[in-house]
Structure 1
Amino acid sequence: MKNILFLLIFLSMFADAQVNRFYYDYRFIPDSNHKEDVKKEMMYLDIDEKGSIYYSRDRFIADSTSMADIRRQIKSGSGSLNVTRNERAGQVSYKVTKEYPEFKTFLFTRVSMDLYKVKEDQKPEWKILAEKQKIGEYDTQKATTTYGGREWIAWFSTAIPFQDGPYKFYGLPGLIVKLEDTTGSHIMTLVGNRKIDSPVVETESGITGNLKIVGIGGKELEISKDQYRKVWKAYVNDPSKNMREMMMRNSGGDNTKMSFKVKTSDGKEISDPSQMFREMEKKTKESLAKNNNPIEPDLVK
């Protein structure tokens, strides 16, 4: 009887609309050496009968705007392309999808100029505890797991009958209302929800060819986690290698010429290739030093 009631509640969630959107306030500390510097991002978890997508609201808005502008330029047939990235493009660039009912999970991310679809091979193994807590309007129960190189605490609510949650987490008898690692470096808290007519985020851009060099278009290459780790290590060892190779290949053969410029920390534009590569390597090393506390340490070790 309990299982039948759960199923009826679950089906009713899709009676009036195709997608249930849950809003998560994501607070994280990118640099473990500066724990006082806490970043904030609004994340969406869109759930329908086929699965879910977890992604940044600001990144989605910025990418949608850039994509629309690129499509307009291509349609105009001018033969040139001017790509501008929004300075407020969001701080979380990845997306995570889960396919029901198996909960097949993929991480969509980018390394340098290449896009990857990384297949997850680990399932969260939960220990459900007796402890309960009121979070917002929801009565929740505690669960713990070890995942991706961190110890995690989740608070889930059986009042929301989705066995899903933020990032790659799922498998509890209700939606995860709050998730945090034991160091307090990554905290995701449900702050609202509503129904929308249809999903609006695309996991693939639909644009192929030279445009993938700007990190906006192109089709993601599906790889394993082990393959991704090798790609990441190669990037850390030589951050500008990918750009050098792609600039040599993309010489405007499809009648679309692309030019590249890099800005230094003082705002100076650099177009000379050798100087540009040096500046890219410098910026990458600085960025890696300041972002040494990732949500999934095992993926970049």
Structure 2
Amino acid sequence: MKKIHTLLFLIIGCSIFAQNRFYYEYKFIPDSTNRADIKKEMMLLDIDKNGSNYYSQDKFIADSTSKADLERQLKAGSGNFTINRTDKQGSVGYKVTKQYPDFKTFLFLKVSSDNYKIAEDQKPEWKILPDKQKVGEYNAQKATTSYGGREWIAWFSTDIPFQDGPYKFYGLPGLIVKIEDKTGSHSMTLVGNKTVQTTQNAEPELPQGIQLFGAGQDIEANKNQFKKVWKAYLNDPTKNMREMMMKNSETNRVIFKSKTADGREISDPNQVFREVEKRTKESLKKNNNSIEPDLYK
């Protein structure tokens, strides 16, 4: 793991797109009734002078691959667009952004085909304790907070001069290098860092009249508004998919594909919808141990 002093030196001489990227190993138990099933995902925390972004490395790669595939279809000019729904999207679908200097925080996540931008109205209130220990190569100090329906224990390091951390956590006198809830259901540990340069790429421009599943502007919402959306989704998981199919029915240029549990590919819309609804309900039943349970009450 490189020392942060090197990163800070490098970022001064780079373009405005230079970022400090921190790698966190995220371990979590999605099903509270099966604590032996522990998942792992590599999460990225990118920090620059304007703020930070926290997101899944697997999802980032999957989204980049899907975008490249769509661009190939557009360049081919066949007139039809195939949307393959795969399971290789990573386990963590959300993203968290924080805007400096006031740490205005937003959670980005998808419910069916809609993308939501949920404003955070709660600031982590920390109790800093005298306990100290090493986390990796960094000297760290203990702090606790109650947040999102969980009790958290964090370790922060003043060796890394960012008052930020994974997920929605921030506000300590150094970067949070490890944080875990008291039930042991969710933990995030810093495992590496480097300086990266990023570029902003425009989204593929679709032909007029075509609407793709999951595309579109983020819908801004507060927590109460999102809770209503979530309850409606639980009642009818495929509503948005059916609506999008109807909007594109005249052009007939969007094709949904999915696979059954035995690996058989299906493309009949009604079969796809039934399969998606079945999988969604099964997945929600097994994923009952959210990192922020208060958001889904």
- Is TM (by shorter chain) over 0.5? yes
RMSD between aligned residues: 2.3
Q: Which amino acid aligns with 1:184?
A: G
Q: Could you state the TM-score of these two structures normalised by the residue count of structure 2?
A: 0.90
The whole-number CA distance in structure 1 between the counterparts of 2:197 and 2:25 is 23
Correspondences of 1:96-245 after superposition (within 5 Å): 96-198=96-198, 205=203, 210-213=210-213, 215=214, 217-245=215-243
Deviations 1:48-68 (A, max 9, x none): 000000011111011101101
The whole-number CA distance in structure 1 between the counterparts of 2:199 and 2:125 is 29
Aligned residues: 288
The whole-number CA distance in structure 1 between the counterparts of 2:257 and 2:21 is 38
Q: Which amino acid aligns with 2:30?
A: P
SS in 1 for 2:281: helix
The whole-number CA distance in structure 2 between the counterparts of 1:169 and 1:206 is 33
Residue in structure 2 matched with residue 66 of structure 1 by the alignment: 66
SS in 1 for 2:81: coil
| 1:300 aligns to 2:286 (yes or no) | no
State, as a whole percentage, how many aligned pairs show the same letter. 64
Q: Are the structure 2 counterparts of residues 145 and 79 from structure 1 closer, same or farther at C-alpha, using a change threshold of 3 Å?
A: same
Residue in structure 2 matched with residue 261 of structure 1 by the alignment: 257
Residue in structure 2 matched with residue 5 of structure 1 by the alignment: none
SS in 1 for 2:255: coil
Deviations 1:249-296 (A, max 9, x none): 12254xx70111332212233334444333222211110111000111
Structure 1 segments unaligned to the other structure (5+ residues):
1-7
Residue in structure 2 matched with residue 16 of structure 1 by the alignment: 13
Residue in structure 2 matched with residue 290 of structure 1 by the alignment: 286
Larger strand share, 1 or 2: 2
Q: Give the conservation status (yes or no) of the 8 Å contact 2:70–2:204.
A: no
TM-superposed CA distance for 1:144, in Å, is: 0.6
Q: Give the conservation status (yes or no) of the 8 Å contact 1:66–1:85.
A: no
Q: Are the structure 2 counterparts of residues 80 and 10 from structure 1 closer, same or farther at C-alpha, using a change threshold of 3 Å?
A: closer
Q: Are the structure 2 counterparts of residues 206 and 260 from structure 1 closer, same or farther at C-alpha, using a change threshold of 3 Å?
A: closer
Deviations 1:209-250 (A, max 9, x none): 74541x3x3221111111111111000011122212221112
The whole-number CA distance in structure 2 between the counterparts of 1:66 and 1:10 is 31
The whole-number CA distance in structure 2 between the counterparts of 1:211 and 1:20 is 36
The whole-number CA distance in structure 2 between the counterparts of 1:74 and 1:260 is 17
SS in 1 for 2:290: coil
